[in-house]
Each structure stands twice: as C-alpha cells, then as structure tokens.
C-alpha cells in the first residue's frame, strides 16, 4: 500500500478498494476492500498462483494483471460497476505499463481493456459523473476513456511532459480536471480542452507535497486536500485560494503523517455519508473524517452535444481530374454522436464523395471532388455540412477548376540525314 499506491471508492458497496504492490516492493496482485459499514478489511480477490520472481509483467501467466505501483491511476466506475487500473510501475523491473484493467465485482474477474495512449509510470485517472467517462493524464497525453465503447480519445497534450506524481479530481459543475502535487496545480478545462497552471494561495502544505490526498466535495463545491494529521485544506476553484480547516475542539483522533511516497487516492470521499476516508499503511488505522453536514446532490446534467467542422483550405484541380480535402469534426461538448457529411455548391459535372461518410467527433473524413471534362473553369465556394440529428455545422473552402492545358502541336517528321 505504502509504495506509491492509490485507492478507489466503490460507491455501490460502500468500500475503499486498495490494489498495488509493484516494482521490487511486492509482487502480490490481490485486491483488498475496507467496508465502511462493517469497519472491516477483506481480501476480495487473488492472488494469482505461481507469480514469477523476475521479469516485467503487464499480465501474469494466468492472464490477470501483474502487480505495480499504481500512483493515481485507479478509480471506480459506478456507471458500469467496475474498478479501473491503468499504467503503473510494473513488477519486477519497474518499467512503465500501458495496460488498462477492469475488475468486475459482480463475478470477481479481471478484464484487460484497450491500452492507454501512452506508456507511463504515474498516471492520473478520475471518473467524471457527468459524462460517465474517465479522464486520464499520463506524462504527455490527456485523454478521455469511454468504458462502454472501450476507447480512449486524446483531448490534449503537455508537450514538455509533467514528470511528477500528482493526485487528481474533477469539479463536475465548473468542468475542471485538476491535479495537485510537487509544487504545481494543473487544470484542464473539460469544455474547451485548454490547459493552465493557475497560481494558488495559502495551500503550500498540499501543493508542495508529492502526492497529496485530493478530492472534490459535492456539498461544498470545493476541493479538499489532505497530507496527514487532523487538518484539511480546502481549495476554492473560483478564487484558487486554499483555506486550512482545523479539527473541531472536541476532536480526539489525530491521523498519522502521510508517507513520503504520497497519499494519492487512498484519501476518498464517501457520498453516502458526506465524509472522507483515508489510510496510510497496512499497519495503521483507517480514518474517517467529517467536514460538514448535508448530503451531495445529483451530478449536473450532461452538456448538450455540439461540434465544429474545419478543413485543410482551398483546393485546385484541372478539369477531368480529382482532388481531396481533409475534413475534421471536433467535439465541443456532450457525448459524441455520429455526424454524416455532405457537400453543396459544386460546379456542374462535379461529384463529391466522403470516405468515411460519417464518424463520431473528434474524428476525420476526406471529401474527394471529381470533375468532368465538361466542368466549367472558375472558382466556387464549397460548403461541407456535418449533420447529427437536428444539429448541423458547416465549413467552407474555395475550389478552383482550370482548363486542361492545350495539347502540344504534333512534331514534324525529321528530315533524313544525308551522308556525304
């Protein structure tokens, strides 16, 4: 647990899930759960039999996931009732993994899903209750995982890489994916896919920690950070100011300090009790913390689907020939839907085809314009329309047709050579 490992909260069964090991620390891949109603630990799966004593193992020989340092790469997906694990520092060599693994509590089985977009040691994975997807950050790539379609969609990149082990959380109201740790607060806007690093005030104890506990509070609509001890730190994303929240005078329990390796998501919010749970080590107590009264409301509604279209620019062709233009449909908001493409404004004798004729944003197609020998020379404005139900978006470009160059005159026969 202590060796760079995280946790997740199973909201269906009210239990904290712990899974990890990895590198040279521990090769066991069993899964543990702490039930907050019975206040008891249980091993709910594993370990694999005949675990190898050397090598690099994304999957052990029995097909189940190899142990790893998980960093912040695990979460629970209530919409499909599965525990999610990604990447990590693999047993035994410590090399970075690329796998995605899903544990199904209903039948106690692991399933290997689509690989993540980037091999990495220390990912951040956070479930979004609005889209019911997971937003996932590796060293460079920010992506969105759809657990139903089993697909990752890249949403952005950090070109310089982050080279840290932060902990993440999502504000589902303001649509912010926020990570904290190693001196940085980093933010992805989930509406615009813009990345920023806002300056915050008052929270150096959390910000400068390598991997603090950090979760969104749906009652207070703020983020709560914890680095051990009895004080928590509240971050208001409307001001980016931290406020220390000391324990009540009647409090008698002082949690231990967080290990130097970090807390990650072993600090979790309990929706059914509007409380927090935290654990530092297999040899220490589990702590439950109550910050405020009240119960969380339902998640905000899913934003409406919207998209935009763009193209690669003006195109020119000689009549009787063809030319192609790349069309990109970019997701702006909501859950992606299939968009079909059409073209208008074509000059006489010109046809348009789209391989593919439809796709789900963010995605690409190609329009191929084929002219005839009779197509008139000149320029036209071509309009490409993307349609999804009652929603349509357009993009335009200039299409220029020129006449074929005249054929060269026939060559006259060569005069015979005369030999003297």
Contact 293, 274 (CB under 8 A): yes
Q: In the predicted model, what is the mean pLDDT of residues 333-359?
A: 93
Mean pLDDT of 65-81: 96
Q: What angle do CA 132, 273, 35 make, to 5 degrees?
A: 85
Span 190-208, pLDDT tens digits:
999 999 999 999 999 999 9
Query: Which of 349 and 297 is assigned the larger pLDDT?
Result: 349
pLDDT at 407: 67
The whole-chain average pLDDT of the chain stands at 94
pLDDT of 306-319, one tens digit each? 999 999 999 999 99
Residue 117's alpha-carbon distances to 157, 159, 359, in angstroms, are 11, 14, 20
Question: Residue 182's closest CA among 196, 162, 200?
Answer: 162
Task: For each of the domains in the chain, give its residue range(s) and CATH number, in order of start.
Answer: 8-289 (2.120.10.80), 306-402 (2.60.40.10)
Residue 416, pLDDT above cutoff 60: no
DSSP 373: T
Cα 376 to Cα 369: distance, rounded to the nearest angstrom: 14
Least confident of 30-34, 146-150, 176-180, 394-398: 146-150
Mean pLDDT, range 118-123, rounded to an integer: 96
Tokens 């593919």 belong to residue = 356
pLDDT confidence bin for 222, thresholds 50/70/90: very high
Q: Using the predicted structure, report yes or no on whether residue 299 has a pLDDT greater than 80.
A: no
pTM of the model: 0.75
Phi, psi of 266 (to 5 degrees): -80, -5
Instruction: Tell me the pLDDT band of 295, cut-offs 50, 70 and 90.
Output: confident
Cα-flanking dihedrals φ and ψ of residue 207, to 5°?
Answer: -60, -40
Q: How far is CA 286 from CA 17, 223, 241, 289, in A?
A: 12, 21, 29, 10
* Cβ proximity of 110 and 206 under 8 Å: no
Q: Which residue has the tokens 């993540």?
A: 116
CA 27 – CA 36 distance, rounded (Å): 27
pLDDT in tens, 163-186: 999 999 999 999 999 999 999 999
Residues with Cβ within 8 Å of 160's Cβ and at least 6 positions away in sequence, in order, are none
Q: Stretch 150-158: mean pLDDT, rounded?
A: 95
Q: What are phi and psi of 206, to 5 degrees?
A: -85, -50
Nearest to 234 by CA among 219, 254, 220: 220
């Amino acid at each position: 647990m202590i060796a760079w490992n995280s946790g997740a909260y199973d909201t269906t069964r009210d239990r904290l899930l712990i899974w990890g090991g990895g590198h040279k620390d521990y090769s066991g891949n069993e899964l543990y759960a702490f039930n907050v109603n019975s206040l008891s630990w249980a091993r709910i799966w594993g370990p694999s039999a005949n675990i190898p004593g050397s090598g690099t193992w994304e999957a052990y020989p029995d097909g189940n996931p190899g142990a790893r340092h998980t960093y912040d790469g695990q979460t629970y997906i209530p919409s499909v009732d599965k525990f999610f694990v990604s990447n990590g520092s693999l047993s035994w060599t410590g090399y970075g993994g690329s796998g995605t693994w899903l544990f199904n509590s209903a039948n106690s089985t692991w399933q290997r899903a689509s690989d993540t977009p980037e091999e990495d040691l220390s990912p951040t994975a956070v479930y979004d209750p609005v889209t019911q997807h997971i937003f996932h950050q590796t060293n460079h790539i920010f992506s969105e995982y759809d657990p139903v379609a089993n697909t990752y969609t890249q949403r952005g990149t950090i070109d310089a890489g982050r080279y840290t082990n932060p902990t993440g959380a999502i504000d589902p109201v303001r649509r912010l994916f926020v990570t904290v740790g190693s001196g940085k607060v980093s933010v992805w806007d989930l509406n615009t896919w813009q990345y920023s690093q806002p300056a915050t005030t008052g929270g150096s104890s959390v910000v400068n920690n390598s991997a603090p506990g950090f979760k969104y509070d749906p009652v207070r609509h703020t983020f709560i950070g914890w680095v051990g001890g009895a004080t928590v730190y509240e971050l208001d994303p409307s001001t980016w100011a931290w406020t220390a929240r000391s324990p009540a005078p009647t409090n008698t329990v002082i949690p231990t300090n967080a290990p130097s390796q970090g807390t990650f998501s072993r600090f979790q919010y309990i929706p059914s009790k509007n409380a927090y749970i935290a654990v530092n080590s297999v040899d220490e107590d589990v702590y439950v913390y109550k910050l405020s009264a009240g119960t969380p409301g339902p998640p905000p509604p899913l934003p409406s689907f919207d998209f935009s279209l763009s193209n690669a620019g003006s195109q020119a062709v000689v009549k009787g020939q063809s030319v192609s233009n790349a069309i990109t449909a970019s997701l702006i908001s909501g859950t992606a839907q299939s968009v079909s493409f059409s073209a208008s404004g074509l000059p006489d004798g010109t046809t348009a085809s789209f391989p593919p004729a439809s796709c789900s944003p963010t995605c690409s197609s190609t329009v191929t314009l084929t002219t005839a020998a009779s197509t008139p020379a000149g320029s036209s404005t071509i309009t490409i329309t993307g349609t999804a139900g009652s929603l349509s978006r357009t993009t335009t470009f200039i299409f220029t047709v020129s006449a074929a160059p005249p054929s060269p005159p026939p060559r006259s026969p060569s005069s015979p050579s005369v030999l003297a």
